Amino acid sequence: MGFHIDVNSMRITEIKSVITESSEVKTFYFKDELSSRGEAGQFVMVWIPGVDEVPMSLSSIGPGDSVSITVKRVGEATDALHNMRSGDFIGVRGPYGVGFKPCRGKVILVAGGVGVAPFYPLLIRLNEIGSEVTVILGFKSRSEMIFLDRIREILAEEKIIVTTDDGSYGRMGLASNALSDELKESSYDMIYACGPEKMLLEVYNLSKTHETPVQICLERYIRCGMGICGSCCIGKYRICKDGPVFSGEQLLEVEEEFGNFRLDTAGRKMKVGD
């Protein structure tokens, strides 16, 4: 009888390659058979030896057992990860959570900043099933743009809308403003969104105004990843177990917190953005 490893078991794996996406973002490729069975929107818990364990969304799934995570430098753990190279080792648990549900038909993807990365495997899947896809990518400036070349390999240029806060590339303004314009011009069967929560709240409100289904990927402080500790709760839901991808109907039940409050590392309620 073969040895069975479940998703909660820590697997040690070697970093195969590292790609610098921007001054603050890198993508790390490694092989892990369980992670390669994951879905777009799911995450893995990544252990950086001697530092910490942090949740990371899958930014590519396959071919074979190959997967990747795309990491923005934001603190001690991500800083340590950014200093790692191919040949170094990390620990991985997962994949965890509820991913995106691919929808056939006319769909639009809205991503902000590093939130673009989890959309890449979703885009590949939507393309495989023949969906008509438009993407809106929002960045602070041209220097922070990531994944645009990869997306151009899949979609025609007219299906890609890029916004920058400072107008250094594409349309000047917010991704949510571009979505508002698109929804006034055309109807969609599904909106997918990932990025900063204030942007996600705008997307959610637009989905209600235009009566369009939505799937939104949320981020919270995740400690265990298995639904035990409660550090990632939003209302009655646990991000790690019930999400991180939520439907509009689910978000309707937690409107008091969504876009307004989250728990800090000590479990205290704090304003989103603080």
Write the pLDDT tens digit of every residue in 128-159. 999 999 999 999 999 999 999 999 999 999 99
Same-domain status, 79 and 214: no
Write the DSSP assignment of 84-150 as a string of letters. Answer: --TT-EEEEEEEESB-----SSEEEEEEEGGGGTTHHHHHHHHHHTT-EEEEEEEESSGGG--SHHH
Domain that holds residue 57: 11-96
Half-sphere exposure of 139 (CA within 13 A, CB side): 21
pLDDT in the model for residue 165:
94
Q: Is there a domain that residue 163 lies in?
A: yes
Which SS3 state, helix, strand or coil, does residue 53 take?
strand
- pLDDT band for 2, please (50, 70, 90 cuts): very low
Q: Within 10 Å of residue 32's Cβ, how many Cβ atoms? A: 20
Q: How far apart are CA 203 and CA 210, in angstroms?
A: 10
Cβ within 8 Å of residue 188, ≥6 positions away: 105, 106, 107, 108, 134, 182, 212
CB of 225 within 8 A of CB of 45?
A: yes
Last-in-domain residue among 96, 114, 144: 96
pLDDT in the model for residue 227:
79
Q: What is the mean pLDDT of the chain?
A: 92
Last-in-domain residue among 56, 75, 96: 96
CATH number at residue 54: 2.40.30.10
Write the pLDDT tens digit of every residue in 28-55. 999 999 999 999 999 999 999 999 999 9
Same-domain status, 265 and 177: yes
Q: Is there a domain that residue 119 lies in?
A: yes
User: Tokens 């959570």 — which residue?
Assistant: 97
CATH number at residue 223: 3.40.50.80
Same-domain status, 122 and 91: no
Total domains in the fold of the chain? 2
Q: Is there a domain that residue 1 lies in?
A: no
Same-domain status, 80 and 113: no
Same-domain status, 225 and 161: yes
Residue percentage of the chain with pLDDT more than 90: 80
Q: Is there a domain that residue 171 lies in?
A: yes
pLDDT in the model for residue 3:
47
Comparing 15 with 223, which gets the higher pLDDT? 15
The CA angle 245-247-250, to the nearest 5 degrees, is: 105
pLDDT in the model for residue 4:
55
Same-domain status, 92 and 110: no
pLDDT in the model for residue 1:
39
CB of 11 within 8 A of CB of 34?
A: yes
Same-domain status, 55 and 74: yes
Same-domain status, 139 and 219: yes
Same-domain status, 55 and 182: no
CB of 45 within 8 A of CB of 96?
A: yes
Write the pLDDT tens digit of every residue in 53-97. 999 999 999 999 999 999 999 989 999 999 999 999 999 999 999
Same-domain status, 132 and 247: yes
Same-domain status, 92 and 160: no
Last-in-domain residue among 62, 77, 96: 96
* Predicted confidence (pLDDT) at residue 191 exceeds the cutoff of 50: yes
Q: Is there a domain that residue 3 lies in?
A: no
Same-domain status, 65 and 199: no
Cβ within 8 Å of residue 81, ≥6 positions away: 26, 28, 46, 48, 71, 90
* Predicted confidence (pLDDT) at residue 199 exceeds the cutoff of 50: yes
Write the pLDDT tens digit of every residue in 116-128. 999 999 999 999 9
Residue percentage of the chain with pLDDT more than 70: 97
